[in-house]
Amino acid sequence: MCGIAGIVRRDGPPPSVPALQRMAAALHHRGPDGYGLYTGRRVGLAHARLSIIDIETGAQPLTNEDGSIVVVFNGEIYNYIELRAELQSAGHVFRTQSDTEVLVHGWEQWGPAMLDRLNGQWAFAIYDRHYDSVFLARDRFGIQPLFYSMKNGDLVFGSEVKALLASGEVEARLDPRGLDDVFTFWGARAPRTVFEGVAQLEPGSCAHWRAGELRLRYYYDLAYEAQKREPDDALEQLDELMRSAVALRMRADVPVGAYLSGGLDSSITCSLAAERTPYELRTFSVTFQDPALDESEFQKELAGDIGSAHAVTHIDGDAIAAVFPDVVRHAETPLIRTAPAPLYLLSKLTRERGIRVVLTGEGADEVFLGYDLFKETAVRHFCLRQPESQRRPMLFDRLYPYLAPTGGEFWRRFFLDAGTPDDRLFSHMPRMLLTSRVKEFYTAGMKDAVAGYDAADALRAAVPAGFDGWSPLGRAAYLELKTLLASYLISSQGERMAMANSVEGRFPFLDHRLFEFAAALPDRSKLRTLREKDILRRWAKDVVPARLAQRPKQPYRAPDAPAFFGAKEPEYVSELLSPDAILESGVFDPRLVAGLLKRCRSGKATGFRENQALVAVLSTQLWWRAFASGSESGLTSYSTPPDVHITEYRTS
């Protein structure tokens, strides 16, 4: 992957080279192998390159033969070889071996309809000089980020908000509604962000800028029109799709490694990758000091089974606290969990060991109903069909055994009272209610700022036509993909943490063909009673060791509030949680935060509410200091000329 950025003028002076250089420099971690620029009277483009495919001639920006089509691209088009052959047969002449050039000629051949033909993960901008227009697009599931800001008809865009801020044309200000989204869904729901005046292109959508107007549209959306019975050849179809999804994502001119958590999903991707790679497969894992979080036993078993060269980074609370400011700066959003921190350290290890591309198992839980949330939804429906039953709610104890000893009855009642089945957000109300308790710490001013805005109502109104006709689990899967996956897991925890250390993550389970296959299956093919990912387990018994194929899912967690307290408490904790600092940012009530801090320091904050609240407050303060306070400008630029500089008149 790489970083892209650009400035597009409706009128006025052309985008300046120094501004574009600063934007590229702000994305240096995404592309440390070089940078390039395009400058014209109306459009300026910047590209920071991470060399993965066509290392010799794949530098960007890239144009067609006469320079009338210019592209900057972040991501991978995995079926570029097949598309290249199709375009060559139509008469197009290629001068590189890169997947980027497929976009140039694909645009000439098919225009925006090209998007339907792409298999991959992408965010790109195409400047079409014939029409003096700029086209932006983001992949179907939002793996690659793309942010933009419009002001007086001018468009500024980039892979990260840092690039927009580095342009000098966008100021960092908090959007209270974006923050309210974070404290509802775990991430701001696209197109909203936590930066006022900055939007993100929605997954599966594109934008067309011309003459100062930006027109947005979807080219892909999720649908859950399930068949009544599982096809007789479902396992054969799944086998072909899984192997194809991994094989396409092994295409690279550098060795491809893999993350190995020890769970079913990463065990599958690692096993299939080991079969395909011409190198010794390199696998990477995190382990935790807390035995309840540690999966090293299963990681070692799979690594031994496939014969990978396995590397491990051991995580404790001190390590999480040490990197948390960098984690927030790269995520560009407040967080309610520390879980991105171990993945930041994992990508650091990966890069230090010389690997710049990894496969991950992300997406499997959303596609094949692996999360406890889906079981919880099924159990809640089951209980509410016979509300007088005393036995049915006991299923919550089986689902969450760690809750039963201290508050079983409380939690059973909580799940049953969290919403009614006719609510479009029924499946997600328990999580949203728990998360929203962070808002109890808001100041009066912050409450006023979000008055009249209900993040949940906004989501209810935004679901697509046909949503109400899907099954309860189909609706739950849609909401999970649209909220948690795109807004948090892929962005804050996945892609952004990998790219912080210049590592590209690839996601076989988010191959759109695999998603469409799984979405059309009956629910019971994926969640059979309380057995998650049923069809995936049936298929995987011949792919991974039996013990791993049948292993129940272990949720990925990391130490939250306790990570920041103890003998090695970082100085920034006291500094940023002081009453003066809390008062300055204006989001949280200093008196309430002081009480929370006291309980955390004494070790008495052991529940979800206070753990999430501490991480939320601290990360908001870190975000404020990094972006909105003005104390850290962070503006740097390159001291060397670009590797490629294309102007409207010449190329150097």
Q: Which parts of 440-533 fold into alpha helices (H)?
A: 444-449, 455-462, 472-480, 496-499, 512-519, 523-526
Cα gap 549→553, rounded to integer Å: 10
Cα gap 165→420, rounded to integer Å: 43
Cα dist. 429→350, 420, 457 in Å?
Answer: 37, 9, 12
Cα gap 275→154, rounded to integer Å: 49
Name which of 392, 418, 360, 435 is nearest 185 in CA terms: 435
Indicate if 600 belongs to the active site: no
Tell the residue number behind the tokens 């225009």, with chain if given: 111
Name which of 60, 74, 78 is nearest 30 in CA terms: 74
What angle is formed at CA 566 by the lines to CA 560 and CA 572, rounded to 5 degrees?
Answer: 75
Task: Provide the b/e sequence for 211-238 (b: ≥16 CB within 10 Å).
Answer: eeebeeeeebebbbebeeebeeebeeeb
Handedness of CA 419, 425, 427, 432 (dihedral sign): negative
Catalytic pick from 2, 206, 383, 600? 2
Cα gap 404→359, rounded to integer Å: 37
Question: Of how many residues is the chain composed?
Answer: 652
Strand order in the sheet with 309-315: 309-315, 282-288, 257-259, 357-359, 504-506
The three-state DSSP-derived secondary structure of 101-144 is HHHHHHHHHHHHHHHHHCCEEEEEEEEECCCCEEEEEECCCCCC
Q: Cβ contacts of residue 422 below 8 Å, gap of 6+? A: none
Cα gap 328→582, rounded to integer Å: 17
If one counts every other C-beta atom within 10 angstroms of the C-beta of residue 349, the result is 17
Q: Dmax over Cα atoms in the chain, in whole Å?
A: 78
Handedness of CA 318, 624, 346, 286 (dihedral sign): positive
Name which of 293, 300, 313, 229 is nearest 501 in CA terms: 313
Cα gap 479→327, rounded to integer Å: 26
Cα gap 504→462, rounded to integer Å: 31
Q: Which two tokens stand for residue 357?
A: 């591309």
Which value, to the nearest 10 degrees, does the dihedral of the CA atoms of residues 487, 488, 490, 496 take? 100
Burial class (CB in 10 A: 0-12, 13-18, 19+), 339: buried
Question: Do 403 and 372 contact (CB within 8 A), yes or no?
Answer: no
Question: Do 462 and 438 contact (CB within 8 A), yes or no?
Answer: no
Q: Which two tokens stand for residue 258?
A: 């893999």
Q: Catalogue the active-site residues.
A: 2
